[in-house]
Chain A
Amino acid sequence: MLKTYTYPKFEYRTPPEIASGKTLKVPVVVVGAGPVGLGAALDLQLHDVPVLVLDEDDTVSIGSRGVCYAKRALEILDRYGVGDAVCEKGVSWNVGRTFFREQEVYNFNLVPEPDHHRPGMVNLQQYYLEEYLATRAASRPNIELRWRNKVVSVAQTGQTVTLKVETEDGFYTVETDWLIAADGARSPIRRMLDLEIDGKIFMDRFLIADVVMKADFPSERWFWFDPPFHPGQSVLLHKQTDSVFRIDFQLGWDADPEEAKKPENVLPRIKAMLGDEREFELEWVSVYTFQCRRMGSFNHGRVLFVGDAAHQVSPFGARGANSGLQDVDNLGWKLKLVIDGKAPVALLDSYSEERIFAADENLVNSTRSTDFITPKSKVSRTFRNAVLGLAKNHAFGRALVNSGRLSVPAFLTASSLTTPDEVGDTFAGRMLPGAPMDDAPLRGNGDDCWLLDKVGNRFIALYFAEDAAVLPAPTLAMLANLSSGGIAVKPLVIAARPGRLAGDIPVLDDPRGIAAQRYDAQPGTVYLLRPDQHVAARWRRLDEAKVRAAVARATCNT
């Protein structure tokens, strides 16, 4: 049915273990080659950890599914090497219109804040993202992708996870030190290990359709509450790439999904919505329900759950794939330190702690959106409609309209890994310990660059200076010293004025002072940055012992 996209078919090769009968031994296995599983593999290869990826299928997501990739996910995809591809192929939109019955109640223009590399969001069908990630993964020396390889049993004994894998040529056995379960909402791994996931099903159904518009149609997000062409329900229209638009119709719980999916039932709905004169073609259609739930813990011995396998939210706010990518962003560096013996296994408990905090935030926000969009009682509907009525003329009403709160990363301020500010050190702004880093435009060796492209994958001490050329010798010695020791901290100097250092510490210039402003930095201010681009700690004065203590805290080495 799809006309704008050709599905790649990834090659299946007979695993050599089937003929040899030998057990395959690898340090890490990822099950599931969706965006999150491929992200996990790409994160680990940045740390030179060999990964085997197993997937029961041999192509990408069928239909658009995930649509919006938010700024933080794009920054993570930059680290994985596909950020440019996603941003070039994807479409940005800024104008959103909200309708209540016949009337447009308001519109907004999300003009992006200047001086960030990546926009607030990009819309792209999930199959493109998966294709780019799979292509990238296939090109990396440390990743082996095995398509049409289905895990049929999993057992955990001591420090080893044993998998039985089924292929069309027979079965083989894999032993691994670590298993990352990225096998989706219905996670067979979770089920085979008899692990619980708690939450609730929302009693509602949604019809989603990918539609190709023949004529020009504005690149805008349109959201209808109770429209005349679909009374009592909500409808969302979202622009994707290749002139494909995604439409979500709320159907209600009593709708028959098989009936609703039939073209003779879908086409009139879309015609009523667009008006008869607009030509379009239906590419793909599906009906879904959703659940809001999460596991009690995301790590179980040597098995680590990521993405939908660990937590599921309603689709409002695009918090599924976006939060899954943040899971693997959080997990990769921790697993690397544990594998290398540089951090205790307890560091993986912090993966669960931090990502459960984020998952709960996502659950709260997406549940609130769901409750606004689909009111569960008469009084709830009255309040919802009152808000929509007031939104037309009053700013406070607009702020309460909740048709989805777009995914933003969690501030890990309360995490056990975060070192709070010292008493007496005062900072303005939002880059407090635990914050996901804000980007800023910089210059290095005469070229423009971005802060977030220069940090990540390792601990970094970001040192702010007026003029790098006149830094005192003890400061330089302290910065250089941080590179040695069990867990190296790479120094990076941000200088207000262009100038070089005598030693080999890299210097970037902050010509417009935007980095200094966003980080409320003064000369001598230092930020300790985690490998996942969160702030671990910060001080007004550099003190080597304090930096080392904060690194120890951020790696459970206390």
Chain B
Amino acid sequence: MSLNLNPNFSETGKRYFSAYSPGDDFYEMLISAHRDLSDEQSELLNARLILLLANHIGDIGTLREALDIAREGV
């Protein structure tokens, strides 16, 4: 498995009429999850989220690729 860097969001059973809609749905959900949190709480939420998603992906090679790309832009 290699890291998918193309747009990849969708929701089962939902039909989209604009290509940007599923990505925007996710982004709104992500920002809403942080509503009313302090900066420290937001940091913790992000850490928990990364761990959950990393476990879901599972494949270490894919995760290494993602970590490399994430780090090179910081």
Residues of A in contact with B (beta carbons under 8 Å apart): 365, 368, 371-372, 377-380, 383, 386-387, 389-390, 394-396, 399-400, 402, 405, 408, 411, 430
A390-B73, A408-B18, A430-B17 are known contacts. Are A400 and B27 too (CB-CB below 8 A)? yes
Q: Are A395 and B31 in contact (CB under 8 A)?
A: no
The 8 Å CB contact of B6, one of A386, A387, A396, is A396
Q: Are B19 and A380 in contact (CB under 8 A)?
A: no
A387–B19 Cα distance when bound, in Å, is 17
Interchain residue pairs with CB less than 8 A apart (17): A368-B27, A372-B27, A378-B39, A383-B30, A383-B31, A386-B73, A389-B73, A390-B69, A395-B6, A399-B19, A400-B23, A400-B27, A402-B20, A402-B24, A408-B17, A411-B17, A430-B17
Task: Return the CB mask of B1-28 against A: 1 if under 8 Å, else 0.
Answer: 0001111100000000111100110011
Q: Are A395 and B23 in contact (CB under 8 A)?
A: no
In the complex, which residue of chain B has the Cβ closest to the Cβ of A388? B73
Task: Return the CB mask of B27-68 against A: 1 if under 8 Å, else 0.
Answer: 110110010010100110010000000000000000000000
How close is A436's CB to chain B, nearest CB, in angstroms? Answer: 10
Q: Are A396 and B34 in contact (CB under 8 A)?
A: no
A379-B34, A400-B27 are known contacts. Are A405 and B8 too (CB-CB below 8 A)? no
Q: Are B31 and A380 in contact (CB under 8 A)?
A: yes
When distances are taken between beta carbons in the complex, the residues of chain A under 8 Å from B7 are 395-396, 399
When distances are taken between beta carbons in the complex, the residues of chain A under 8 Å from B31 are 371, 379-380, 383
When distances are taken between beta carbons in the complex, the residues of chain A under 8 Å from B6 are 395-396
The 8 Å CB contact of A402, one of B8, B27, B34, is B27
Q: Are A405 and B46 in contact (CB under 8 A)?
A: no
In the complex, which residue of chain B has the Cβ closest to the Cβ of A376? B31
B4, B24, B42 pick with most chain A CB within 10 angstroms:
B24
Q: Are B69 and A405 in contact (CB under 8 A)?
A: no
In the complex, which residue of chain A has the Cβ closest to the Cβ of B6? A395
Q: Are B5 and A396 in contact (CB under 8 A)?
A: yes
A408–B20 Cα distance when bound, in Å, is 12
A368, A378, A379 pick with most chain B CB within 10 angstroms:
A379
Q: Are A405 and B24 in contact (CB under 8 A)?
A: yes
The 8 Å CB contact of B20, one of A394, A399, A411, is A399
How close is B66's CB to chain A, nearest CB, in angstroms? Answer: 11
Q: Are A399 and B18 in contact (CB under 8 A)?
A: no
How close is B27's CB to chain A, nearest CB, in angstroms? Answer: 6
How close is B59's CB to chain A, nearest CB, in angstroms? Answer: 18
**Chain A interface, DSSP helix/strand/loop, else mixed:** helix
Residues of B in contact with A (beta carbons under 8 Å apart): 4-8, 17-20, 23-24, 27-28, 30-31, 34, 37, 39, 42-43, 46, 69, 73
Q: Are A405 and B20 in contact (CB under 8 A)?
A: yes
Q: Are A380 and B34 in contact (CB under 8 A)?
A: yes
How close is A179's CB to chain B, nearest CB, in angstroms? Answer: 34
When distances are taken between beta carbons in the complex, the residues of chain A under 8 Å from B28 are 368, 371
A368-B28, A396-B8, A400-B23 are known contacts. Are A379 and B46 too (CB-CB below 8 A)? yes
How close is B3's CB to chain A, nearest CB, in angstroms? Answer: 10
When distances are taken between beta carbons in the complex, the residues of chain A under 8 Å from B17 are 408, 411, 430
Can you list the 9 inter-chain pairs with the closest CB atoms, starting with the nearest? Answer: A399-B7, A379-B42, A394-B5, A389-B73, A395-B6, A379-B34, A399-B23, A396-B7, A400-B23
When distances are taken between beta carbons in the complex, the residues of chain B under 8 Å from A371 are 28, 31
How close is A518's CB to chain B, nearest CB, in angstroms? Answer: 14
In the complex, which residue of chain A has the Cβ closest to the Cβ of B39? A378
A390–B69 Cα distance when bound, in Å, is 9
How close is B47's CB to chain A, nearest CB, in angstroms? Answer: 12
When distances are taken between beta carbons in the complex, the residues of chain A under 8 Å from B5 are 394-396
A394–B3 Cα distance when bound, in Å, is 11
Q: Are B24 and A365 in contact (CB under 8 A)?
A: yes
A34–B23 Cα distance when bound, in Å, is 35
A402–B34 Cα distance when bound, in Å, is 19
How close is B33's CB to chain A, nearest CB, in angstroms? Answer: 10
In the complex, which residue of chain B has the Cβ closest to the Cβ of A372? B27
When distances are taken between beta carbons in the complex, the residues of chain B under 8 Å from A386 are 73
20 new A-B contacts, CB < 8 A, other than A379-B37, A402-B27, are A365-B24, A372-B27, A379-B31, A379-B42, A379-B43, A380-B31, A383-B31, A390-B69, A390-B73, A395-B7, A396-B4, A396-B8, A399-B20, A399-B23, A400-B23, A405-B18, A405-B24, A408-B17, A408-B18, A430-B17
A411–B14 Cα distance when bound, in Å, is 13
How close is B13's CB to chain A, nearest CB, in angstroms? Answer: 14
In the complex, which residue of chain B has the Cβ closest to the Cβ of A387? B27
How close is B7's CB to chain A, nearest CB, in angstroms? Answer: 4
How close is A324's CB to chain B, nearest CB, in angstroms? Answer: 20
How close is B65's CB to chain A, nearest CB, in angstroms? Answer: 12
